Amino acid sequence: MNDLFLRACRGETTERLPVWIMRQAGRYLPEYRAVRQKADFLTLCKTPELAAEVTLQPVDILGVDAAILFADILLPLEAMGAELVFAAGDGPTFPTPVRTREQAAALPALTRADAEERLGYVYDAMRLVRKELAGRVPLLGFGGTPWTLAAYLVEGGGSKSFSHLLGWSYEDPEGLGLLLDRVADTSLAYLEGQVAAGAQALQLFDTWGGLLDLERWRSLALPPLRKVVKGLLASTPRVPLIYYINGGSHLLPGLAELEVDVLSVDWRQPLSEVRRVVEADGPGGRKNWVLQGNLDPAALLAPIPEIERRVERMLQEGATERGWGHIANLGHGILPTVPVDHARAFVRAVQERSQR
């Protein structure tokens, strides 16, 4: 089995860096768009054969070192009973947002058995992908963090200001805390199910964690996140955990205390600076962090020689004395307008230029 990616997650020194791309199964690929012609987004997620097919596309087309299951972070909220709509051209919406303590109390957390029953299509897709991969690369499962999931559920979709979420957090933090706790319990059950179905590592997406300052992140977002992380660390088999944050440079001193294996960051700070902060003496006090990221997704729109130069620089910034401690990726999801040969050039540049 090719376990380069898993060895890098565990902090081992590897023969070269592994590379994969957030949103690697997506609209920039003509092969993905062809499958999407046949099925809307949710149908695609809920049809294991199709979800498996698009999961494998970037492995075949780009030669990435990990597969990430084709699904969405919002699916477990739908499984909790919230109606979820992906309208063509728009992002996701929840037509009935959850904005009160009473509404939160009416959304029971999912148990492992509920997750099997209502999200079994995700698990079926994972088993199919594992079979079809046959050890070519590891399979990554994922979920959203409780804070980021709640952000969508409370706003009713994406938002510029997140005024409902943030307003609730100031008016009634315990009420919002109840929702976050239910989402945390659900996420833990759902993610444990993914591991049972064959996920070999898990990534937690905290797309909106950066909305909070460090003090409020610690008091609001961290407790439910820690519940998920602690639960996963205690469950067997224990798989590597990756935490991704977008726009969270100001939170790094708090993130250093998270007991995850890999910290995945955006492009707004060089990896060397991220490492300096998370490895500084402090409450976390941990050295030898494995970092994931962090090329600017828009850099894949540059001419290929410029992409190669920027990859080179990212590799230098991510490198450590003891070896690499770095998994190459973008700092956020790949943009739908990226030419496929540019994505391939990114992957190849990492694979060739990080050889030891």
Binding site for ligand CP3 (CB under 6 A): 22-27, 36, 41, 68, 70-74, 91-92, 142, 158, 205, 207, 246, 333
Q: Is 226 a catalytic residue?
A: no
Q: Is 244 a catalytic residue?
A: no
Q: Which residue, judged by CB position, is nearest to ligand CP3 in the bound state?
A: 207
In terms of Cα–Cα distance, which of 218, 186, 242, 227 is closest to 66?
Answer: 242
- Pick the closer one to ligand CP3 by CB: 246 or 269: 246
Query: What is the Cα–Cα distance from 351 to 345, expressed in whole angstroms?
Result: 10
- Pick the closer one to ligand CP3 by CB: 67 or 311: 67
CB 230 to ligand CP3: min, Å: 22
- Pick the closer one to ligand CP3 by CB: 26 or 248: 26
Q: Are 110 and 122 in contact (CB under 8 A)?
A: no
CB 206 to ligand CP3: min, Å: 9
Query: What is the Cα–Cα distance from 352 to 191, expressed in whole angstroms?
Result: 34
- Pick the closer one to ligand CP3 by CB: 157 or 284: 157
Residue among 7, 16, 27, 309 flagged as catalytic: 27
CB 68 to ligand CP3: min, Å: 5
CB 327 to ligand CP3: min, Å: 14
Q: Over the Cα atoms of the chain, what is R_g?
A: 19
- Pick the closer one to ligand CP3 by CB: 68 or 115: 68
Q: Is 32 a catalytic residue?
A: no
Residue among 3, 7, 16, 23 flagged as catalytic: 23
- Pick the closer one to ligand CP3 by CB: 57 or 320: 57
Residue among 28, 32, 65, 72 flagged as catalytic: 72
- The neighbouring-strand residues paired with 243 are 204, 263
Residue among 152, 190, 243, 244 flagged as catalytic: 152
Residue among 3, 7, 16, 36 flagged as catalytic: 36
Q: Is 268 a catalytic residue?
A: no
CB 94 to ligand CP3: min, Å: 11
Q: Is 243 a catalytic residue?
A: no
CB 320 to ligand CP3: min, Å: 26
User: Using N-to-C axis directions, what is the helix angle for 146-155 and 173-196, rounded to 10°?
Assistant: 120
Query: What is the Cα–Cα distance from 159 to 148, expressed in whole angstroms?
Result: 12
Please identify every residue annotated as catalytic. Answer: 23, 27, 36, 72, 152
